[in-house]
């Protein structure tokens, strides 16, 4: 293989690959990036078996071929180079020369045949569905749900975002860790999603890294046990999470009679200040709601106490309820600055429901005893 590539394009592709590659994977070959040069382009493939990414960038091909070299080392060489172009040349015994201006590096690689490459979607009668969605919408759906995915390894069915058809020509993403739930709907084109599937957290996080640079529609395909996101010249494949997602509809209260309207920015900054003195583990804060005012407080025997009052739009009965501040900070962090939010409450034992200007987004947070 002998190919010359624009340095900036190669650095960008290698940077994306770093998020996919597991540097501590039991299979050492997966710390390498697979390079395939042919037909005027260089394909880079990174994989940790569960998530795989293929990217294509224009290249001048002197001699087509394949190679597999350490992904991190190659990225650092390309990133630090001041040359506008990088030349990659295969040598005997899987070695490769990296030439950048007056610099030259020789990397010891592995046989490209050992690298698993991209997974192949099976064609044995399995259902294959494809939806088309604006890149910005998919990015927003991921950003507003993935933070609520469970990190508990014993609850594998909660270790991803549930994707299912919504009302009309729309899809819905839902994530929960048992303490809070995030749900969002967006309109799509294409086949639509039939039975719900669970998309893994890591795969969605890597998909989000691709999306901000793409303004047109992207394709999301479900085939067998794999989901694929096609973004421009990049294809991201992720293995679906096994298991059944819980009945999330049961968690969402039918009614929240006590509703308070307030400014997102003010609530966010107040929670940040008050939670400084909350317990490091529980992050508990108390909401004391009365007509026109919300007092947020915390009491930590080991550190002290804090309270702050903010003006709100509320005219109902007084109520006190405790929440984990971190769960509220997470959702407020993904809502737009300056937005007005509404917090719906039932009683001190009922879940709180937070919504912003976007009526298709719902966030449910369970109360806690303080």
CATH 3.10.150.10-classified regions of the chain: 2-114, 128-249, 252-365
Q: What integer pLDDT is reported at residue 209 of this predicted model?
A: 93
Give average pLDDT by consecutive 10-residue segment, the chain, 370 residues: 97 96 86 96 96 97 97 97 97 97 96 93 67 94 97 92 86 96 93 85 95 83 93 95 95 94 97 94 94 95 94 94 97 97 95 96 94
Q: Which residues contact 192 (CB under 8 A, 6 or more apart)?
A: 129, 131, 165, 169, 171
Q: Is 151 exposed, middle or buried (0-12, 13-18, 19+ CB in 10 A)?
A: exposed
CATH number of 2-114: 3.10.150.10
For residues 185 and 171, the answer to whether their CB atoms sit within 8 Å is yes
As a CATH number, domain 128-249 is 3.10.150.10
Distance CA 261, CA 359 (A): 14
Q: Which of 77, 5, 52 is nearest to 236 (CA)?
A: 52
Residue 54 is predicted with a pLDDT of 98
Cβ atoms 44, 54 nearer than 8 A: yes
Residue 25: per-residue pLDDT: 79
Predicted pLDDT at 193? 77
User: CA of 212: how far to CAs of 1, 121, 137, 232, in Å?
Assistant: 32, 26, 10, 12
pLDDT of residue 24: 79
Q: Which two tokens stand for residue 198?
A: 């669970």
Closest CA to 326 of 361, 265, 368: 368
Radius of gyration of the chain (CA): 25
185-224 core/surface letters (b: 16 or more CB in 10 A; e: else): bbebebeebeeebbbbbbbbebbbbbbeebeebbebbbbb
- Of 350, 327, 361, nearest to 150 (Cα)? 327
State both tokens at 237.
Answer: 């494949």
Question: Of 68, 50, 228, 72, which Cα lies nearest the Cα of 138?
Answer: 228
Residue ranges of alpha helices (H) inside the chain are 7-20, 71-80, 135-143, 201-210, 264-274, 325-334
pTM for the model stands at 0.92
Predicted local confidence at residue 192, as pLDDT: 72
CA distance 215 to 139: 11
Identify the CATH assignment for 252-365 out of 3.30.365.10, 1.50.10.20, 3.40.120.10, 3.10.150.10.
3.10.150.10
Give the Cα separation of 263 and 208 in Å (integer): 28
């Amino acid at each position: 293989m002998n190919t010359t590539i624009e340095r900036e394009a190669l650095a960008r592709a290698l940077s994306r690959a770093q998020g996919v590659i597991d540097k501590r994977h039991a299979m050492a070959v997966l710390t390498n990036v697979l390079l395939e040069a042919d037909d005027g382009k260089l394909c880079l493939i990174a994989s940790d078996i569960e998530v795989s990414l293929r990217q294509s960038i224009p290249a001048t091909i002197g001699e087509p071929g394949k190679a597999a070299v350490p992904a991190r080392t190659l990225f650092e060489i390309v990133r630090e180079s001041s040359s506008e172009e990088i030349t990659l040349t295969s040598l005997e015994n899987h070695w490769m020369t990296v030439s950048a201006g007056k610099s030259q590096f020789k990397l010891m690689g592995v046989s490209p045949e050992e690298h698993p490459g991209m997974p192949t979607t099976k064609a044995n009668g399995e259902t294959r569905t494809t939806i088309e969605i604006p890149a910005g919408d998919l990015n927003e759906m991921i950003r507003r749900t993935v933070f609520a995915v469970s990190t508990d390894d014993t609850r594998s069915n909660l270790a991803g975002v549930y994707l299912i058809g919504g009302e009309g020509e729309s899809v819905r993403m839902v994530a929960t860790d048992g303490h809070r739930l995030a749900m969002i709907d967006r309109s799509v084109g294409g086949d639509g999603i039939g039975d719900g599937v669970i998309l893994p957290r890591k795969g969605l996080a890597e998909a989000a890294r691709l999306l901000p640079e793409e303004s047109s529609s992207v394709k999301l395909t479900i085939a067998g046990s794999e989901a694929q996101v096609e973004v421009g010249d990049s294809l991201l494949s992720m293995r679906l999470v096994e298991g059944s997602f819980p009945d999330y509809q049961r968690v969402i209260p039918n009614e929240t009679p006590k509703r308070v309207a307030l400014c997102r920015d003010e609530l966010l900054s107040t929670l940040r200040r008050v939670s400084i003195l909350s317990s490091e583990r529980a992050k508990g804060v108390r909401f004391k709601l009365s007509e026109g005012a919300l007092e947020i407080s915390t009491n930590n025997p080991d550190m002290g106490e804090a309270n702050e009052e903010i003006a709100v739009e509320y005219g109902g009965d007084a109520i006190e309820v405790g929440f984990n501040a971190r769960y509220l900070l997470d959702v407020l962090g993904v809502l737009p600055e300056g937005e007005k939010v509404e917090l719906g409450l039932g009683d001190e034992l009922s879940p709180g429901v937070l919504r912003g200007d976007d009526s298709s987004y719902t966030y449910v947070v369970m109360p806690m005893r303080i």
